[in-house]
Amino acid sequence: MEKTSYNKVTNDIVELLKKACNGHVLTGDQINDDFCHDEMRIYGTAVPEVVVEAETTEEVSEVMKICNANRIPVTPSGARTDLAGGPVAKYGGVILSTMKMNKILSYDIDNLVVTIQPGVLLNDLAQDALSKGLMYPPDPGEKFATVGGNVSTNAGGMRAVKYGTTRDYVRAMTVVLPTGEIVHEGAAVSKCSSGYGIKDIMIGSEGTLGIITELTLKLIVAPKETMSMIVPFPTLEDAIGSVPKLFAAHLNPQALEFMEKDVVIDTEKLLGKDVYPKTLDGVDINAYVLVTFDGNDQDELMDIIEAASEVVLEAGAVDVLVADTPQQLRDAWAVRSSLLESIEGNTKLLDECDVVVPITKIPEFLTYVKTLQNGHSYTIKDFGHAGDGNLHIYLCSNDDDKEQFMRESGEFMKKAYAKAVELGGLISGEHGIGSGKMDYLKEFAGPVNMRLMRGIKKVFDPNMILNPGKVCFDPEECYED
């Protein structure tokens, strides 16, 4: 396969796009800076030639037909909370925004499913379902991401330890292919053994294979009660060491997170809250486990909390603080939910990896990566999902030399990813590859897997116009057919 080239958007094509989308097209000065980057600007910015704000599946289809016929790159875009450069229009062309496709279309209460458009925000779906006594279990940290974006990266989040990732809740979807063809994958049923799982190929494909325009999602009956424990430990090793013991006790937590003291202190300053103890009984606290359980009533939960308390105290916890009122729950989770915001607010230059390793390997991995900061301009902040081994590692620098930072970050990432793979892990648990992690995926997935992924890409997208420069395909490289 030769290097891929694309055409520019002409005035005639702009007029065709306007006709296809009832005029919902932005050009020139109408395109604001928000369309030029995602949350991780370190991976670059790019100004699209055109932004199309589609409202229907048919509009998306017409846009893709126009762009495919004229070999114009198209970058799908939601709320742009991505952390890997996924929605950045690296090769110009069209950004196709689904933010106006934001309707919750229908509920089927009896079959516990909901049908939505992809631009619905996670927070809005969660709150609307809860008002009906239902829960949409996936719970990524960014509540104002779109659900379509969550599906495109197979976002996990804090409840994944009990309820699974986004993939486990997608029953069906409508997709517009890069050719403009409209396909319907899956169905509102719980089983499928009907040919290749194209729906599952689409989940996590980061907008490189098709544009999702409708989703049917599984719901569950919402638990009646939830209760959390803040568990302080003197060391991170003790904190993580308690996690397998909680599972061995069959306690089935809804969420199981870990945090270190330095990032908690910064976040509490940001929020103006003092929630997590820093010393107890003369013991310095350096790490916390935040555990949530859910159930049918408070009596049931108190029994679980008592059993869990015995486990963590035997594992070295200094104390157990029970958050059993709505305000205490909000405060405990407000800190956890604001950790990244705090890190971003205190950092000029930021890079991130979200490796996933076996739970028992978390301390070994974190101990190793922290040694990598010695002699460098960056410091490391971390937190993560203790229950499933998905770690968020942030390289933070307040120097102004971006070129040096990117060079040092590249060296760090290569070593960190190699260590994660050595320990039996993978280079991304939920944030995806985008453009920022392509070289690392190539190295650690191996040539055969990369060839298979590019082969799938070619089948879905013969002209390679959809979100080029992401995941497995770089237009500037030559590939064997």
Spell out the domain ranges in the chain.
Answer: 11-99, 104-221, 225-336, 343-423
In this predicted structure, the answer to whether residue 464 has a pLDDT above a threshold of 70 is yes
Evaluate whether 385 touches 362 at the Cβ level (below 8 Å).
no
Fold of 104-221: 3.30.465
Tell me the sheet residues that pair with 96: 52, 76
Contact at 8 Å (CB) between 213 and 98?
yes
pLDDT(409) > 80:
yes
Give me the mean pLDDT over the 20-36 stretch: 96
- Dist. CA 427–CA 440, nearest whole Å: 8
The model's confidence at residue 141, banded by pLDDT at 50, 70 and 90, is confident
Q: Does residue 2 surpass a pLDDT of 80? A: no
Instruction: For the chain, give the percent of residues with pLDDT over 70.
Output: 100
Q: Which amino acid is residue 379, in one-letter code?
A: T
The per-residue pLDDT for 324 is 83
CB 82 within 8 A of CB 126: no
Residue 95: C-alpha distances to residues 36, 113, 375 (Å): 10, 30, 41
pLDDT of residue 294: 95
**Pairing outcome for strands 50-53 and 94-97:** parallel
DSSP for 277-312 reads: -SEETTEEP-EEEEEEEEESSHHHHHHHHHHHHHHH
- CA dist 327 and 412 (Å) reads 40
For the chain, how many helices (H) and strands (E)? 15, 20
225-336 and 343-423 share one CATH topology? yes
Q: What is the CATH number of domain 225-336?
A: 3.30.70.2190
Closest Cα partner for 379 from 393, 363, 362? 393
What pLDDT is recorded for position 352? 94
Domain 343-423 has CATH 3.40.50.300: no
Alpha-carbon distance of 234 to 414, in angstroms, equals 31
Q: Is the pLDDT of residue 111 over 90?
A: yes
Classify domain 11-99 by CATH architecture: 2-Layer Sandwich (3.30)
Distance CA 61, CA 208 (A): 15
Q: Is 188's pLDDT higher than 90?
A: no
Question: How confident is the model over 326-343, as pLDDT tens digits?
Answer: 899 899 999 999 999 999
Nearest to 293 by CA among 279, 314, 307: 307
b/e map of 341-364 (b: 16 or more CB within 10 Å)?
A: ebbeebbebbbbbbbbbebebbbb
Q: Which residues contact residue 15 at a Cβ distance below 8 angstroms, ignoring those fewer than 6 apart?
A: none
Distance between CA atoms of 198 and 186, rounded to whole angstroms? Answer: 8
pLDDT at 481 over 80: no
Question: In this predicted model, what pLDDT tens digit does every residue of 204-256 receive, in sequence order?
Answer: 999 999 999 999 999 999 999 999 999 999 999 999 999 999 999 999 999 99
Residue 108: which pLDDT band, with cuts at 50, 70 and 90?
very high
Residue 388: per-residue pLDDT = 92
DSSP, res 84:
S
Sole residue written with tokens 């719970």: 139
The pTM for the full model equals: 0.94
Asked if pLDDT for residue 1 goes beyond 90, the answer is: no
